[in-house]
Amino acid sequence: GAVVSQHPSRVICKSGTSVKIECRSLDFQATTMFWYRQFPKQSLMLMATSNEGSKATYEQGVEKDKFLINHASLTLSTLTVTSAHPEDSSFYICSAREDGGEETQYFGPGTRLLVL
């Protein structure tokens, strides 16, 4: 089956530092990936659509300069949380849609970010 990995799985950082999260499709190519944020006991909130070779499309209310997305290859998208603050602490989940496949999104295991 289609597998998506994320790294790191957990990260603790100091306020003001930047954190990079990687999302990889392991056995398929994905021109399109998605980044979500999930607060405890809540549903997923779509942050942005990551497009290989072009700029990401951000959802309303999501700061593009705060959450930098780079989709440099057909199997890798990165999310960088810049100048992180405690309110950025959350569970970040990526998903990937297989090129030429159906609309199904395959999700990564998530990254737990804690900003002190």
Size of the site for other proteins (CB under 8 A): 23
Closer of 38 and 82 to other proteins (Cβ): 38
Q: How many CB atoms lie within 10 A of CB 56?
A: 21
- Alpha-carbon distance of 22 to 40, in angstroms, equals 22
Long-range contacts of range 99-104, CB-CB < 8 Å, 24 or more positions apart? 99/28, 99/29, 99/30, 99/31, 99/74, 101/28, 104/2
- Residue 36 CB, nearest distance to other proteins (Å)? 9
Options 97, 98, 113, 115; binder of other proteins; rule CB under 8 A: 97
For position 21 contacting other proteins by CB under 8 A, the verdict is no
Q: How far is the CB of 45 from other proteins (least distance, A)?
A: 9
Of the CA atoms within 13 Å of residue 16, those in its CB half-sphere come to: 0
* Interface residue list for other proteins (CB under 8 A): 4, 6, 32, 34, 41-44, 46, 49, 93, 95, 97, 102-110, 112
